[in-house]
Amino acid sequence: MEKFVITINRQFGSMGRPIAREMAQQLNVEFYDRDIIEATAQKLNMSLSIASDLEESAARPRFWNMCFPLGRGESKKQDEIFQVQKQIILDIADGQSCIIVGRCSDYILRCTKHVLRVFIYAPYRKRLENCIERLKMDEDTAKAMIRQVDRARDAYQMRYAHYLPGDFHYNDLMIDSSILGVENTAQYLTELIVKKFSSRNISD
């Protein structure tokens, strides 16, 4: 296949991150998510505590980092963080086929060739079920996290991209993960990517 970049935006609890990670394994490409934040923090000499295990877990403090992973600093500092993160994402996409989760990567890479922008969502009740059963949250925590993380992601995307993550005008593909589940959704998307980016289908 030709080089490609897949960007993944998702609703909290839709299991978008596990789906993206499974896709990366099936496609044998690199998977980038919160390690982009770590690289950004290192470049800015900022302190950042992120667990080495990239699996989503039940510990609320780690989930809370999804809302404001580098804190709630002043606007100027947040803009500096975004610019550093933007360059990291551009460098990653320039160098290899990969899957990038969140971080406004769909917007940052909008002018990059061979990008597929995916938004993963699910009905609220299914997202709540995923948080309780798969992420081992209690119901109150799950409800709070769905509300707060979605709100934070929407605000971040609006600030820098000026559109919401789930706006169909800016996504190439939107999929309800509750229809097929994590593994089968990943397989479905992987098969689509292989078909789209096989050499015979690539056109400049």
Predicted local distance difference test score (pLDDT) of residue 2: 85
Is residue 204 one of the residues assigned to a domain?
Answer: no
Predicted local distance difference test score (pLDDT) of residue 202: 47
Q: Would you say the pTM of this structure is higher than 0.85?
A: no
Is residue 19 one of the residues assigned to a domain?
Answer: yes
Predicted local distance difference test score (pLDDT) of residue 198: 86
Give how many domains the chain has, as a whole number.
1
Domain with 183, as residue range(s), is 5-196
Q: What is the domain-level CATH number for residue 192?
A: 3.40.50.300
Dihedral, CA of residue 162, residue 165, residue 170 and residue 171, to nearest 10: 170
CA 27, distance to chain mean position in Å, is 17
Is residue 76 one of the residues assigned to a domain?
Answer: yes
Is residue 44 one of the residues assigned to a domain?
Answer: yes
State the Cα angle at 182 between 63 and 98, rounded to 5°: 75
Is residue 85 one of the residues assigned to a domain?
Answer: yes
Measured distance CA(114)–CA(140) in Å, rounded: 41
Is residue 103 one of the residues assigned to a domain?
Answer: yes
pLDDT in tens, 38-78: 888 788 777 664 322 222 222 334 454 555 554 554 577 77
Spans of the chain below 70 pLDDT: 47-74, 199-204
Is residue 55 one of the residues assigned to a domain?
Answer: yes
Q: Residue length, the chain?
A: 204
Predicted local distance difference test score (pLDDT) of residue 79: 84
Q: Report yes or no: 154 and 89 within 8 Å, Cβ to Cβ.
A: no
Is residue 186 one of the residues assigned to a domain?
Answer: yes
